[in-house]
Amino acid sequence: MKLLDSERQNFIEPLLKNGWKLGDPDDPQRDAINKEFRFRNFVDAFQFMTGVAMLAEKADHHPEWFNVYSKVHITWSTHDCGGLSMLDVTLAEACDAMANI
């Protein structure tokens, strides 16, 4: 279910304060959140991606992402509802926790 306006303020605002951005780098008007994570090296970035992949698979909700060496760029949005849902919020928060932010 797509987040209501009141839910967006409660759940999305804290993510924005933690470095997440609204939109998609390729489509800023898209109802999505995205963030670039930087790590010390490729192994750390890959370890982070593996952890996110395990959570995403368990939730049956998968990110759009791009990795180059020590950078991982993640976009979350729920295609079924055409925008942001609590799954996106929960998994974005998990990404931050895994990245030790």
CATH number of the domain encompassing residue 76: 3.30.1360.20
- Evaluate if residue 28 carries a pLDDT over 90: no
Please state the rounded mean pLDDT for residues 46-54. 97
Number of separate domains in the chain: 1
The H-or-E segment that residue 41 falls in is none
Domain containing 26: what range?
A: 5-98
Inter-CA distances, 88 with 18, 44, 47, 60, 67, Å:
15, 23, 20, 11, 19
14 pLDDT band (50/70/90 cuts)?
very high
Q: Contact 100/18 with Cβ under 8 angstroms? A: no
Residue 13 has pLDDT above 90, yes or no: yes
Q: Does residue 51 contact residue 63 with C-beta atoms inside 8 Å?
A: no
**Confidence band of 101 (pLDDT split at 50, 70, 90):** low
Mean pLDDT of 19-43: 93
- H-assigned helices in the chain: 5-17, 42-59, 86-98
Distance CA(26)–CA(91), nearest Å, equals 21
